[in-house]
Structure 1
Amino acid sequence: MAEKTPFPSPTKRWHTTAQPSASHTRPELSAKGKSVVVTGGGTGIGGETARHFAAAGASRIALLGRREQPLLDNKAYIKEKFPGVEVFIKSTDVTKESDVEEAFSQFAENGKIHVLVHSAAAVGPSKDFENSVGEEYLEGINTNVAGSFWVARSFLRHSVPDAVVVAINSWGSYLSVNNNFASYCVAKLATYRLWDTVAILKPKLYIFHTQPGVILTEMNLKAGGAESFKNIKADDVSLPASFNLWLSSPEARFLKNKFLWCNWDVEELKAQAKEIESTQKFSIGLVGWPFENAN
């Protein structure tokens, strides 16, 4: 469903639910034969993303998250709807190296990983910079960075060379509107740079950074983020889930290493492919620096 954009957008059409061009029913988006890992895979964006990959025919899906029951519930849902999909679950604290490596190595025993959707995150303290408790502020940053660090390390050990990574991020990584959730915003910029470094290390990988939309996840509601959306319509969780699936397909290769909003129209992005691929468009960097002439 295309609607009037409430935010600045490079596409005229703005979506709040799954786009037709990102539908799992399209054969171009088939995930047949793919092994997929989803962190935060029990509920919210991660949980719904796993369901979209299952609908697209993924052979194997790993659901990782701290709480076991949501993982079990999502596994049951997927197995009922898509009985041919192998679903692996593992209670995993992504901030702990041993947890992450154990989960990835166990899943990869039956084949290398083709797609990673890193959805696990923590919002941190919901206080402004001046009134935040130092230890809480720094812990919020460390939790998010550590999660991406250990996941990235294990993923590199167990993935195919040209695997896809969808690193779910936030507009807060590049846009300072206020200093609420300051710890979270600092962390998201740090995790962007972490995955950007991985892209330099492994140039054959297809890494994408996304702003998933305004999604009322458990984390969002717990943090009181819903209060900020009084004048903005929340997006359906199918929006980022379907966009994540599309990013894993060959159609999205031209967006490699880019930062994208899941609300942006897929067909309009495809029409801009040549410009996007050949410039720093949709990248985080220094405004005005003539990067193309730097070499």
Structure 2
Amino acid sequence: MDFTKQYHLDTYASISCTQPELSQSGRTIFITGGAGGVGLAISRSFTEAGATRLVIVGRRAKKLAEAKNELLKLAPKPEDLEILTYPCDIADSTGSKAVWADLKSKGIEVDVLVLNAAIANTVPNGLDEDDFVDKVWATFDMNVRTNLELTSLFLKQGRTGKAVVSINSSAAHISPTQPIQLGYAPSKAALGALMQGIADSLKVEEAQIVSFHPGSVKSESVMKSRWANAPIAWNTDKLSGDFAVWASTKEARFLHGRFVWCNWDVDEMKAMGEFKHPGFSRIGLQGPKALSSNELWGQMEGLVKRQA
């Protein structure tokens, strides 16, 4: 999407998680789905940034254990990093609340909440799908209600110097919506609007809330999907991970309540006066220049070719 002149496909100096300004020393980071795909990349970047504690929630105990071992090897000082893993289905309200109750019993307060886990129940036959309503509603339940509950539990700890990093998707604002994404796309749009609304009710000093599209990453799930061989500009998961770290810091204060792409250049965005406008870079109405998905992918390809 032609938003900044530079369209990044890999990490770069301004968002590098090893930058002293982005240090996570002393912070506890809670990451949903942090043991695989983009979530694991985010866990890696917070580890490299020197986080004091990672709380990683996922469905598979084996995958969580593997991620923990990998992250401890990656840590600058493994002895200074504590990693807590919780195998559970966060869509189950009982399990989610149990995780937060356990953290409270241990005297642990989370500083950064990364809302990464999501489901993308596809409906290939659109409205003609036999279980169309059930699939769409299950997607909303996970992508909207679950993230709302997690955010509520997080903010109940206290509201000073907190950060919520919400991993969203370009599907939230691409129009028209493809029939196969009749559940996923509107659920992500709803999540984006929800995060905006929560941000509007909080001062950035209380809890900084930033939503971003992690780009096009060839994750394990993507490689098994219809998108695996799509002719689009793929970016590294390192870009997504480092951007998440950057988005949790004061460097990203100007994005409180906004929705951006990790591919957009942060220095160019900082220089944009438009971010002073309350409606800029937020989920909402589009005018006659709305892009179809094909036009969007074509624009991305054009940007990459011009930069080559």
CA distance in 1, matches of 2:127, 2:74: 49
Q: Return the offset for 1:128.
A: 4.4
CA offsets, 1:116-169, max 9 Å, x none? 111000011242423323222332222322321221222122354331111111
CA contact (8 A) 1:22 1:246 kept: yes
Q: Could you tell me the TM-score, scaled by structure 2's length?
A: 0.84
Mark the runs of 5 or more structure 1 residues left unpaired by the alignment. Answer: 1-7, 289-295
The residue aligned with 1:213 is: 215
The residue aligned with 1:169 is: 168
CA distance in 2, matches of 1:58, 1:161: 18
- Equivalent of 2:96, from 83, 97, 100? 100
CA offsets, 1:48-79, max 9 Å, x none? 11111111111111011111111111111111
Q: Could you tell me the TM-score, scaled by structure 1's length?
A: 0.88
Partner letter of residue 50 of structure 1?
A: S
Matched, 1:110 2:100: no
Distance 1:86 1:181, change over 3 A: same
Distance 1:148 1:201, change over 3 A: same
The residue aligned with 2:69 is: 76
The residue aligned with 1:14 is: 7
Matches within 5 A, 1:251-266: 251-266=251-266
Matched, 1:40 2:28: no
Matched, 1:200 2:193: no
Partner letter of residue 117 of structure 2?
A: A
CA offsets, 1:7-55, max 9 Å, x none? x222101111112211122111111111110000101111111111111
The residue aligned with 2:246 is: 246
Matched, 1:89 2:88: no
CA contact (8 A) 2:212 2:262 kept: yes
Matched, 1:139 2:141: no
Distance 1:238 1:159, change over 3 A: farther
CA distance in 2, matches of 1:107, 1:224: 39
The residue aligned with 1:58 is: 51
CA distance in 1, matches of 2:113, 2:215: 19
CA contact (8 A) 1:112 1:160 kept: no
Q: Return the offset for 1:276.
A: 0.6
CA distance in 1, matches of 2:100, 2:157: 7
CA distance in 1, matches of 2:264, 2:211: 13
Mark the runs of 5 or more structure 2 residues left unpaired by the alignment. Answer: 288-308
Distance 1:55 1:283, change over 3 A: same
CA contact (8 A) 2:196 2:258 kept: no
Worse-matched range after superposition: 54-63 or 96-105: 96-105
Root-mean-square deviation over aligned CA pairs: 1.8
Aligned length: 278
The residue aligned with 1:125 is: 122
